[in-house]
Amino acid sequence: LYARGADERREPASVTKIMTQLLIVEAVEAGTLTLDEIVTASASAAGIGGSQMYLEEGERISVRDLMKALTVNSANDAAVVMAERIAGSEEAFAKLMNERAGALGMADTHFTNASGLYPDDEHYTTARDVAIMSRELMGHELIREFTTIWTGTLRDGTFNLANTNRLIHDYKGATGLKTGYTSRAGYCLSAAAERDGIEYIAVVLGCDTGAIRFGEAAALLDFAFNNYVLISLLPSEPLPPVPVVLGKARYVQPVPEGDVCLVVTKAEARVIEKRISILTAVPAPVLEGERLGAIVVHSGDRIIAELDIVSAESSRSLTWAEIFARFFSLLFTAG
C-alpha cells in the first residue's frame, strides 16, 4: 500500500529470526518437531553474544521455551539451538533458510546465519522481502502464541521475558512481530497489527534510533487503517445452479474462484459495484473448475478486480442410451 526504498538491500539484524521462526513453526506443523521436545544447548549456542537467554552448554530446555526467548527477548542462543536441532548445524540451517526464501520469491535475500547478530556482507534482505516472510509467518496461528507475549518468565520464574517490540503494549491490535538492531543494520522492525478483520504489516529498516523505528512503523500502520478497508468480492446472494445440456448431472453449481477479499481505499469502497456475468446454460461435458462467468468489480468507471466463476463439480456427457432413457422418461411423465 505504501513503499519507499523497498528493494534496497540491507542487513536485517535480528529481523532475520522471522525466517528462523518460520522454519521452526513449519517443522512443528509437519510433525518433525514438537513444542514439548527437550533440546540440549551446544557449546556454540552457549557461546554466542548479543541478546540471549544465557544458555549453558548442556542445558536442557523445551522448544516452547526456546521459542518464547527467541521471539520475545530476541535470544540469539535460542536461535542457534533451534537451527542445530532442525538442520544439524547453523550453516546447514542457513541453507534451508535460503531455500525457503527462494520458494517465497524473496529474490533479494541471502542468509548466512539464524540470528542476524554478526555483520556479514553476504547476509542481507530488503523491506519487501521481510514483508513477504512476515506475511508467511503470520499465516501460521501458532506463532501468535509467542509474538503477542508482552512480559513473562522462564526457568520457573528465574528468567524474565520482556518483549523487545514495544508496539505489542502501545499499539492497538498489535500482533507481532520482530525487532532487530546492530550498529551496521541500525534499528529495524517488522510490525503487524489487526483490526476489524484485516491485518497489516509494516517494515522499517536502518532507523537511527529505536524510537524512530517504532514511530515509523506505527505511522505506516495508521496510514493503512485510516485509508483502506477490506471488502468482499462475493455476490450478495448465492449464485443459482447452471443447467448442463445433455449432462449426467443436470446442473452444476457456480462458485467464485480465488481471493474473495480485496483491500481498497475507503473512497473506492463507497462507489463499489459488482457486475456478474454467468452462462445461462453450458453443454456437457463440464469439468470441475471450468469457467462459467466472472464477477467484475467497478469503482466508478475503473475496473479494480475480476473474479472468475467456475463449476464446483463435473458433469459428464450422457451416453446415447442415457439420452434415449431420459427422453422416454420425459414422454412417460408427460403422458
300 alpha carbon, distance to own chain's centre: 31
**Helix%, strand%, coil% for the chain, nearest 5:** 35, 30, 35
Distance CA(54)–CA(77), nearest Å, equals: 7
Can 74 be counted among the known catalytic residues?
yes
Cell 481498497, residue? 264
Can 311 be counted among the known catalytic residues?
no
C-alpha cell at 162: 520482556
Can 44 be counted among the known catalytic residues?
no
Q: Cα-flanking dihedrals φ and ψ of residue 289, to 5°?
A: 90, 0
- b/e per residue 138-170 (b: at least 16 CB within 10 A): beeeebbebbbbeeeebeeeebebebbbbbbee
User: Of the residues 42, 51, 68, 74, which is catalytic?
Assistant: 74
Distance CA(22)–CA(25), nearest Å, equals: 5
Q: Which residues are catalytic?
A: 14, 17, 74
